């Protein structure tokens, strides 16, 4: 089932989500639906608040970003760590962030048409459960870490635009307000909090 994606401006995107307990929700079906919704919107990550759920779960599949978009080094995957990087993170907890912060241009399915450079630490250590409730602890770096950091923020009620410098924030204010009202082009179904 494809959920509509919640657009910027909805208070659910600002809520800190709650942990889920085994048996409380059908975690496998939720994860499946989230993947379907994410693929339908050509995203590489999707967090529960973006589909209106206030629980600690997000899904990622970075494989579309494994290959470089320009043709120059054809055949050579630009980001080999992203091949097969498809995962569900249930009740995740980032326990360590390290390395020099680096800039990467981020976008968000809840904020279509807007991309901006965000600085984040290069490496993370994260503890999480899979959909069989098994606990994992793993280290991620590069773009894999980046995708996780972005999605993890959603569970904390944070969005990538929060990190932008004041001037840039000022410049995108009108655009964000338009998105919240439904004045936006997205080729997937969305739900708008301030739509008249």
> Rule CB under 5 A: is residue 108 a binding residue for Zn ion?
yes
> Which residues touch 29 (CB under 8 Å, ≥6 apart)?
none
Whether residue 101 contacts residue 119, with contact meaning beta carbons closer than 8 Å, is answered with yes
> Rule CB under 5 A: is residue 179 a binding residue for Zn ion?
no
Of 4 and 77, CB closest to Zn ion: 4
Of 20 and 60, CB closest to Zn ion: 60
**Whole-angstrom distance, CA of residue 50 vs CA of residue 10:** 9
Whether residue 9 contacts residue 179, with contact meaning beta carbons closer than 8 Å, is answered with yes
User: Is 32 marked active-site?
Assistant: no
Q: Which stretch binds Zn ion (CB under 5 A): 35-43, 106-114, 120-128, 176-184?
A: 106-114
> Rule CB under 5 A: is residue 55 a binding residue for Zn ion?
no
How far, in Å, are 23, 49, 92, 117 from residue 28 at the CA level? 11, 17, 16, 33
Of 55 and 108, CB closest to Zn ion: 108
Q: Which stretch binds Zn ion (CB under 5 A): 16-24, 36-44, 63-71, 107-115?
A: 107-115
The residue ranges that bind Zn ion (CB under 5 A) are 108
Positions marked catalytic = 151
């Amino acid at each position: 089932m494809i959920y509509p994606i919640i657009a910027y401006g909805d208070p659910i995107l600002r809520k800190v989500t709650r942990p889920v307990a085994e048996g409380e929700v059908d975690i496998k079906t939720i994860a499946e639906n989230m993947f379907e919704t994410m693929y339908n919107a050509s995203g590489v990550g999707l967090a529960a608040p973006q589909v209106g759920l206030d629980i600690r779960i997000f899904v990622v599949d970075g494989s579309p970003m494994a290959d470089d978009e320009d043709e120059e080094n054809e055949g050579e995957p630009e980001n080999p760590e992203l091949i097969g990087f498809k995962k569900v993170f249930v009740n995740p907890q980032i326990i360590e962030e390290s390395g020099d912060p680096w800039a990467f241009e981020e976008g968000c399915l809840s904020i279509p048409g807007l991309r901006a450079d965000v600085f984040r630490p290069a490496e993370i250590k994260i503890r999480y459960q899979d959909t069989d409730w098994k606990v994992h602890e793993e280290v991620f770096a590069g773009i894999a870490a980046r995708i996780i950091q972005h999605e993890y923020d959603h569970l904390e009620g944070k969005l990538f635009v929060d990190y932008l410098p004041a001037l840039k924030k000022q410049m995108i204010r009108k655009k964000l307000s338009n998105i919240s009202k439904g004045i936006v082009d997205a080729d997937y179904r969305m739900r708008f909090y301030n739509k008249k």
